[in-house]
């Protein structure tokens, strides 16, 4: 089994920034923590430090794109956050469409009957985990397709 690079995911909110981390095999994502927004540069330093502490080689920044893939104010904010992180992190920094992540997490909490009071502080890190899991699942899907394509060539 091939060992993947560990990935730190970022849900860049206006007040809080959710962080999540992949397992070493790149199969699952787990919420890590929430950091309070200070300034773009301070946030980028904190995110880069969290990635380094966690052994992450890649930082995945959630970017909310519009329904047609258009870049609006929120998506531009994510691009600027990613640029700032690149100044403090030597690894790869990627953007990933995170549209609907917070709503998906809220719906999951409601479906699991988590009381409203216990949902509040956990949404940001959980949204970061949702973004990362979406990315990991997509990468696994692409790998499966590539394997199928190679196996079709042998017949």
From CA 11, how far away is CA 101, in angstroms rounded?
9
- Mapped onto helix, strand or coil, the DSSP state of residue 35 is strand
Collect all residues with Cβ–Cβ distance below 8 Å to 88 and sequence separation of at least 6. Answer: 44, 45, 47, 48, 49
Domain count, the chain: 1
From CA 51, how far away is CA 28, in angstroms rounded?
16
Rounded mean pLDDT of 145-155? 65
Is residue 47 situated within a structural domain? yes
Is residue 89 situated within a structural domain? yes
Give residue 117's region: left, alpha or beta (phi > 0; psi -120 to 50).
alpha
Is residue 34 situated within a structural domain? yes
Q: What is the pLDDT of residues 8-65, one digit of tens each?
A: 999 998 899 999 999 999 899 999 999 999 999 999 999 999 999 999 999 999 998 8
Per-chain mean pLDDT for the chain = 86
The CATH number covering residue 19 comes to 3.30.420.140
Is residue 41 situated within a structural domain? yes
Q: Is the pTM of this model over 0.85?
A: no
The dihedrals phi and psi of 74, each to the nearest 5 degrees, come to: -65, -40
Tell me which of 78 and 151 has the higher pLDDT: 78
From CA 132, how far away is CA 26, in angstroms rounded?
10
Q: What one-character DSSP code corresponds to residue 9?
A: E
Residue 85: which of 114, 46, 29 has the closest Cα?
Answer: 46
Range of the domain at 119: 7-152
pLDDT at 1: 43
């Amino acid at each position: 089994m091939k060992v993947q690079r560990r990935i730190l995911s970022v849900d860049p909110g206006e007040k809080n920034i959710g962080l999540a981390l992949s397992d070493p095999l790149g199969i699952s994502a787990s919420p890590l923590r929430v950091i309070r927004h200070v300034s773009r540069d301070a946030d980028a330093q904190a995110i880069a430090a969290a990635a380094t502490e966690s052994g992450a080689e890649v930082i995945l920044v959630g970017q909310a794109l519009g329904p047609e893939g258009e870049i609006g104010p929120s998506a531009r904010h994510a691009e600027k956050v990613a640029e700032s992180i690149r100044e403090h992190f030597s690894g790869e920094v990627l953007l990933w469409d995170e549209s609907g992540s917070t709503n998906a997490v809220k719906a999951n909490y409601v479906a699991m009957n988590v009381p409203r009071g216990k949902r509040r502080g956990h949404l940001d890190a959980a949204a970061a985990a949702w973004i990362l899991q979406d990315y990991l699942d997509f990468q696994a899907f692409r790998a499966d397709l590539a394997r199928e394509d190679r196996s079709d060539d042998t017949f």
